[in-house]
Structure 1
Amino acid sequence: MAGSHGGSLKSWLAVIVILAGFTVGGVALCFGPNWPLVWAGAGIIAVGGVIALLVDIFSDVIVDAPRVLASEKVDRKG
């Protein structure tokens, strides 16, 4: 995955688990609120956070070389 800021699959696993927790908790708040399901969503988010810490998600960034864009001459009429 060179040349992108994509990260690795293990980091995406943590992100997907956290997103699933937010989805479960958000749906539970809309339908009720169903508090046990809200807390289940919070628990899923916590599990995703632990996964993120275990896979060291913050150091899993692929940094590109800085882009240099050619400057263009702007022709302004008027």
Structure 2
Amino acid sequence: MSANHGNTPAAWTAVSVAMLGFVVGAVGLMLEPVNWVVFWVGVALGVGSFVLFLVMAKLGFHE
């Protein structure tokens, strides 16, 4: 493992966006009735965090 494993701007940004996605998705599930649009926005944020990480890594923010 590298010395900066997980301590890069790309990793922190991806984890922050993924956490936001989980919170948004959870809120969508807790609403009465369940708001599926909000839930799927949370899922999209979670998937988008992985794409964001890959882009930032290619730009050199994961070194």
Question: Normalising to structure 1: TM-score of the pair?
Answer: 0.59
Q: Percent identity, please.
A: 33
CA distance in 1, matches of 2:4, 2:14: 19
Supply the AA of the counterpart residue of 2:7.
G
Matches within 5 A, 1:18-57: 18-32=18-32, 33-56=34-57
In structure 2, the CA distance between the partners of 1:4 and 1:48, relative to structure 1 (3 Å rule), is closer
- Indicate the structure with greater helix content: 2
Residue correspondences, number: 56
Q: Which has the larger radius of gyration?
A: 1
Supply the AA of the counterpart residue of 1:14.
A
CA RMSD after TM alignment: 2.1
Structure 1 unmatched runs, 5+: 61-78
CA distance in 2, matches of 1:4, 1:19: 21
